[in-house]
Structure 1
């Protein structure tokens, strides 16, 4: 690890059981992610998310992932989950991101789908209203989910890009390639979901531990 760089940070997203939340916490994950999106195999209802969030309180930052939420859903998420961060993974405009941040009165992370260099042009507008940017692989045409599809984008797209501090990388990451991803992009934080699963929505404690260990070893 370079003495000039802090350790890379890891988020485990799409957790849905006490056992896998505990696995992420035991592995040393920096964030745990709870998905509230009924079309996702990782969806958790707010009552369930409330218990999982309480389990992680004080041990990792808690993130609730929402997709194009209306104000009622945002309020319900805050009341049930009390997240440290709201992750927006839909087609929210910069104006909507700003409105959600104001309504929630807590930090917001905005996911931006990337498939080509041109997709990076959206970053400045969102960087002005979101606390973090998450660069994820753009879903293929016709995909049912905006993320968690297990695809990666060409990291060379980021070469020379002026990315905001705290930008995170996602999309097709696993324990076998996350070290290369961090080295190749120079980013300091990553987000994984399908890369620590044995089937969609089924997290594997051993894969979670291996992923976090690979992140720590990368820098």
Structure 2
């Protein structure tokens, strides 16, 4: 596979089915009450059970939290049993390492990007997490750190190698994901607002369109990389 596609902020069985059928690699469940995509533990446990019943193979389950305390994370781990914790707040590298060790779960740290100096902040995290997700910094006045439908200058990521897998997010949709991958050089993408028909309301058709567009772009970039490699070794 040339890249991963993550659909984040799912909350209804119908759109979950669309993501599963479309071939999403990761499903994100949001545990942050200020978000319109927030799910409680009961709903999340039901969605997670549906994901585990799919396949194999099945998408990985990602639990998105924002500066959550140990009790909150413990409850999520017990009821939902995610494959990943996505830390989307101001968690320090030390906090990321602590959660990873305590709960024995893979950790993805989301970082807001708007300028070159923001990239430098990623280095300490790269030493302790399993994946980094680069999202746009939230607009002024936003009370949620992600899913705001805004993007950043993807050129900031071109050629970036931090020794861990990198994922691109922020303002992506079916129309823009191809250019985003080409410009950033990344292969893994995450989408939330770009597959919604209203704030917090996912659309099955847009989910299918996004996954198809991302796959086409990933395949194109994969083929281009292979051609370049042959040219260097031929």
| Contact 1:166/1:188, CA 8 A, preserved across alignment | no
Q: Which residue of 2 aligns with 1:214?
A: 213
Q: Which residue of 2 aligns with 1:155?
A: 154
Within the candidate set 22, 25, 29, 2:20 is matched to 25
Name which of structure 1's ranges 26-35 and 58-67 shifts more when overlaid on structure 2: 58-67
- Greater relative contact order (Cα < 8 A, sep 6+): 1
Q: Using the alignment, how far apart are the partners of 1:161 and 1:116 within structure 2? A: 14
| Contact 1:134/1:170, CA 8 A, preserved across alignment | yes
Q: Structure 1: which 5+ runs fail to align?
A: 1-5
Q: Which residue of 2 aligns with 1:119?
A: 118
Alpha-carbon RMSD across the aligned residues, in angstroms, is 1.0
Secondary structure of 2:215 counterpart: helix
Q: TM-score, normalised by structure 2?
A: 0.89
Q: Using the alignment, how far apart are the partners of 1:124 and 1:118 within structure 2? A: 11
Q: Using the alignment, how far apart are the partners of 1:175 and 1:161 within structure 2? A: 24
Secondary structure of 2:182 counterpart: helix
Q: Structure 2: which 5+ runs fail to align?
A: 220-234
| Contact 2:130/2:164, CA 8 A, preserved across alignment | no
Q: Which residue of 2 aligns with 1:38?
A: 33
- Cα deviation 1:80-126 (Å, max 9, x = unaligned): 11001110000001011111111211100000000000000111100
Query: 1:184, CA displacement in angstroms?
Result: 1.3
Q: TM-score, normalised by structure 1?
A: 0.95
- Cα deviation 1:15-41 (Å, max 9, x = unaligned): 001111111000000001100100000
| Contact 2:158/2:185, CA 8 A, preserved across alignment | no
Q: Which residue of 1 aligns with 2:190?
A: 191
Name which of structure 1's ranges 138-147 and 191-200 shifts more when overlaid on structure 2: 138-147
Q: Using the alignment, how far apart are the partners of 1:161 and 1:22 within structure 2? A: 34
Larger Rg: 2
